[in-house]
Structure 1
Amino acid sequence: MWDEILARFEKQAPASVMARLVLERAMPAAWVDEVFETNRQRQYP
């Protein structure tokens, strides 16, 4: 399913897909989670 969705976006916006994939590889998920936890504030209702 993910491959089908990604294929559609690759045709319509290849630069956006490439940028996202690069960022996913460049920034570890644990680091992103840590930054979020450090900087999060109360969520709006």
Structure 2
Amino acid sequence: LLKEGVIVRPMTPFGMESALRVTVGTPEENRRLVKALETVLGKAPA
């Protein structure tokens, strides 16, 4: 996700070993996150 411009933080310092934190603030940032997730997961629309 970092290659797509999305910063992901681990939640291990808070006792959540399998959790990640992603913070978005604006609708545009949310769209970028969704697009990056689709790209990384190989589910980008054709």
TM-score bracket, shorter-length normalisation: 0.3 to 0.5
Richer in helix (by share): 1
Using structure 1 for the length normalisation, give the TM-score: 0.40
Richer in strand (by share): 2
User: Higher relative contact order by CA 8 Å / sep ≥ 6: 1 or 2?
Assistant: 2
Larger C-alpha radius of gyration, 1 or 2?
1
Using structure 2 for the length normalisation, give the TM-score: 0.39
